[in-house]
Structure 1
Amino acid sequence: MKVGIIGLGFRLGYLGFVFNQMDPDFEIVGYADPAPAGMPMLDEKGIPAGNVYDTPQELIKNEEMDLLMIGSPNHMHLDHIRLGLEAGLKVFSEKPIVMTIEQSFELAALLHQHGHKRLLVGLVLRYSPLYQDLRKAQQDGLLGDVVSIEASEHIQPYHGAFFMRDWRRYESYAGSFMLEKCCHDLDLYNGVVGARPRYVASFGGRKSFTPQNTPVDEGVNDLDVYHCKPSGWLGTEKVFDSDGDIVDYQTAIVEYENGVSMTFHTNINVPDEFRRFCVIGANGMAEGDFVRGFLDVHNARNNEKVIATTYKAPSETSHHYGADEQMAEDVIKHVMDGTPLPVSALDALEAGILALTMDEARKTRTVVDLSSVWQRYDAALNGSAAEHHTLKSA
């Protein structure tokens, strides 16, 4: 499979390695990136990055490819997706695929024009064994009708410090922390619920990575943890006095259109991290943790544990609990043979809209009703928004 890359950062450098493992015929034909942070990974693994181009337009014009992969900073995603779709290419974009609600409408209109199956998304957790087992238990009727969900994504201080030092500390480049980091998780639970979110409330802020919490009178080695993960574009060494505007903790409450409720909590200064869920249904409950590697399912009638699965820690070179390898394999099969994928661009847009609404609710301290958002989204996706605009112009 031949690919071109726009934005050869850490993530696509790593995925280049994983895709190469899954397909010996995988080839990067070229890339466009003024400062390719992912190049050392490819060089270390002996994977050529192809021809270098000054602009994405030159890359697309001069190379033949089966897939255009986009790993540029988030605020560039929509423009780069548009370039690929308008060139007739199949496009893979890292998440989040857009930055704002308005961009969600804009991309929905593009997908109406070009077909949403032309856009693949890097919501990698859909490919994880744990999530696949959760959905199978649900499909087997072990949970019954889903009633409520408690979920979280917590990361260790070294990772939280990375966000405070990397370009992702700025909402203008990355979007909110909930969008940039947690859209993975929100997509998973949207999938479990099987309905769109309707009402959202949220609270949060920044209380850990603040100047008054700067470590003092500690050994130099005690501070190394905050700098062990390298930052990329626009990187800084400041952690507790970072000029970033993202939050370091947030909680949200969601009610879906079918009445299911969910609480979601994220914090980026959690020493013993976990990425947990508890899905409670009329017939049973499923509890699992991606970090700690388990899935338990209990029957509500007799309290019996009917599933008790533990997951081995993946190799040191594997990210996302082994899901990247499965994603690479499935994407290659999809591009070359048309094999269906477990997640779509439409799933990504809905997860992004939920994340963005959580931040609107947090900033305005209101309960946000999403009904008008979904109306505009559906109109754009079905082309009726463009038709309405044309009629008004006439």
Structure 2
Amino acid sequence: MPAKVRYGVIGCGMMGQEHLRNIALLPDTEVTVIFEPDAGMAAEAARHAPNAVFVDTLAELLKVDALDCILIASPNHCHVPQMEEIRRTRPLPLLVEKPLFTDPKDLAELDSFKSTYPAPVWVAMEYRYMPPIAALVEQAELATGGIKMLTIREHRFPFLDKVGAWNRFNKYSGGTFVEKCCHFFDLMRLIMKAEPVRVMASAGQDANHKDEIYDGEQPDILDNGYVIVDFENGARAMLELCMFAEGSRYQEEVVAVGPQGKIEAFVPGPGRFWPQELGEPPVPQLVVSPRSPKGPRQIDIPVDPAILDAGDHNGSTFYQHEGFVAVVRGEKALPDVTLEDGRRAVEMGLAAQQSARTGQAVSLQPQSLSSVAC
């Protein structure tokens, strides 16, 4: 068990820097080496990890002795090849940002990786750890008497600027339902405790990035849509995404309903985007509404301000790293979010992309999963 958990970090853009700020809050952890090829992002990362060594390649990072685990926070399409290089060279415990992969062509390599990688791999699904959503997950079965309907709504700001505008294009990001929404498909499986069998989607690019051109190409990502998912246990879930609704009081709303009642989680967006003239940002809430006796019960679930200020995900990145460090130390047996969880969330996103494009429902029977097209 290492006295101090030493991270190597691949990618220090916006999300990578959030990881750095949260690692800095954890006791007995440090970032020892960073691979970030963009000079501007590297300079910013140095502010958050002043003692880290910066290297020019992943190969150089893997040669650093003072290393106990690796965080991958690079652009989506880089994840699988970087995981494979780590497997071949120095297989350490991994925390891999979502989405795990972006293209069905990656599946064979991912399956080979899974069968041969000797160290634990945790797929970063921060939304599981948002305190109001974690409370909903814990209480949903009792509050509902068994979930029959689940609705997840995210009304938020457009995609932020990333290095090289990679998040503006399906070919790099996997598409909006993969890049942005694999979080929500992961939550659906977690909350339902069941596997999806069919995905139906309607979506479009109606407001955002339509007047932008990068290297002669116009962004092709979706900015709004609905996705309905049927589950093997007969329950159903719906995602409602709108990325031109940043005026909302809450950014995420999760609602689970069953024969005994309803439970809701309300999560505000990043505090740095809340208008100062409106006062303090909203407090996250959990609302439990039984059918009998009628009457909603509202519970505020505030987050420690220091943890809240370290990122844009309602403190969840900190709690996620707490769990990952426990795995690295051997204090926790298994990752909360496995390679299989990461794979299934992306497959659901790819199916939603396909359904939105074709207007047809997509089956997710086991034998058809590998044939889902981008």
| TM-score, normalised relative to structure 2 | 0.84
**Which of residues 280, 285, 289 is equivalent to 1:298?**
289
Q: CA separation in 2, counterparts of 1:328 and 1:355?
A: 25
Q: CA separation in 1, counterparts of 2:331 and 2:168?
A: 38
- List per-residue Cα deviations over 1:135-194 (Å, max 9, x = no partner): 22125x2211210112111212xx446479832001111110111111112211210111
Q: CA separation in 1, counterparts of 2:199 and 2:246?
A: 29
SS in 2 for 1:92: strand
Is 1:270 the counterpart of 2:245 in the alignment? yes
Please tell me whether the aligned partners of residues 17 and 48 of structure 2 are also in contact (alpha carbons under 8 angstroms): no
Higher relative helix content: 1
Tell me the equivalent position of 2:361: 367
Match runs of 1:55-66 below 5 Å: 55-66=57-68
Q: CA separation in 1, counterparts of 2:175 and 2:345?
A: 13
SS in 2 for 1:265: strand
Q: CA separation in 1, counterparts of 2:366 and 2:247?
A: 40
**Counterpart residue type for residue 137 of structure 1:** Q
Is 1:98 the counterpart of 2:98 in the alignment? no
Tell me the equivalent position of 1:197: 196
Q: CA separation in 1, counterparts of 2:241 and 2:179?
A: 12
Please tell me whether the aligned partners of residues 183 and 351 of structure 1 are also in contact (alpha carbons under 8 angstroms): yes
The alpha carbon displacement at 1:375 in A equals: 6.6
The alpha carbon displacement at 1:341 in A equals: 4.1
Gaps of 5+ in 2: 269-281
Please tell me whether the aligned partners of residues 177 and 246 of structure 1 are also in contact (alpha carbons under 8 angstroms): yes
Task: Count residues with an aligned counterpart.
Answer: 345
Structure 2 CA distance for partners of 1:201 and 1:281, relative to 1, 3 Å: same
Is 1:3 the counterpart of 2:7 in the alignment? yes
**Which of residues 265, 281, 287 is equivalent to 2:264?**
287
The alpha carbon displacement at 1:134 in A equals: 0.8
Tell me the equivalent position of 1:323: 316
Q: CA separation in 1, counterparts of 2:132 and 2:287?
A: 10
- List per-residue Cα deviations over 1:4-57 (Å, max 9, x = no partner): 12223222222112101112x3232222232155434433346322141x3212
Q: CA separation in 1, counterparts of 2:159 and 2:57?
A: 32
SS in 1 for 2:19: helix
Structure 2 CA distance for partners of 1:302 and 1:104, relative to 1, 3 Å: farther
Tell me the equivalent position of 1:18: 22
The alpha carbon displacement at 1:312 in A equals: 2.8
Q: CA separation in 2, counterparts of 1:108 and 1:362?
A: 27
Please tell me whether the aligned partners of residues 14 and 38 of structure 1 are also in contact (alpha carbons under 8 angstroms): no
Tell me the equivalent position of 2:273: none
- List per-residue Cα deviations over 1:41-98 (Å, max 9, x = no partner): 433346322141x321232134341101111111110011122233221111111110
Is 1:44 the counterpart of 2:43 in the alignment? no
| TM-score, normalised relative to structure 1 | 0.80
Please tell me whether the aligned partners of residues 186 and 354 of structure 1 are also in contact (alpha carbons under 8 angstroms): yes
Structure 2 CA distance for partners of 1:36 and 1:143, relative to 1, 3 Å: farther
Q: CA separation in 1, counterparts of 2:239 and 2:49?
A: 41
Tell me the equivalent position of 2:145: 144
- List per-residue Cα deviations over 1:233-268 (Å, max 9, x = no partner): xxxx769x9811101111111101111111111111
Match runs of 1:218-229 below 5 Å: none
SS in 2 for 1:98: coil
Please tell me whether the aligned partners of residues 164 and 244 of structure 1 are also in contact (alpha carbons under 8 angstroms): no
Is 1:355 the counterpart of 2:349 in the alignment? yes
Please tell me whether the aligned partners of residues 104 and 353 of structure 1 are also in contact (alpha carbons under 8 angstroms): no
Q: CA separation in 1, counterparts of 2:369 and 2:209?
A: 40
Please tell me whether the aligned partners of residues 29 and 50 of structure 1 are also in contact (alpha carbons under 8 angstroms): yes
Q: CA separation in 1, counterparts of 2:222 and 2:171?
A: 14
Kindly name which structure, 1 or 2, has the bigger radius of gyration based on alpha carbons: 1
**Counterpart residue type for residue 289 of structure 1:** F
Q: CA separation in 2, counterparts of 1:62 and 1:341?
A: 25
Please tell me whether the aligned partners of residues 7 and 32 of structure 1 are also in contact (alpha carbons under 8 angstroms): yes
Gaps of 5+ in 1: 215-236, 378-394
SS in 2 for 1:106: helix
The alpha carbon displacement at 1:112 in A equals: 2.0
Match runs of 1:250-265 below 5 Å: 250-265=225-240
Please tell me whether the aligned partners of residues 178 and 359 of structure 1 are also in contact (alpha carbons under 8 angstroms): yes
Structure 2 CA distance for partners of 1:42 and 1:72, relative to 1, 3 Å: closer
Please tell me whether the aligned partners of residues 77 and 101 of structure 2 are also in contact (alpha carbons under 8 angstroms): yes
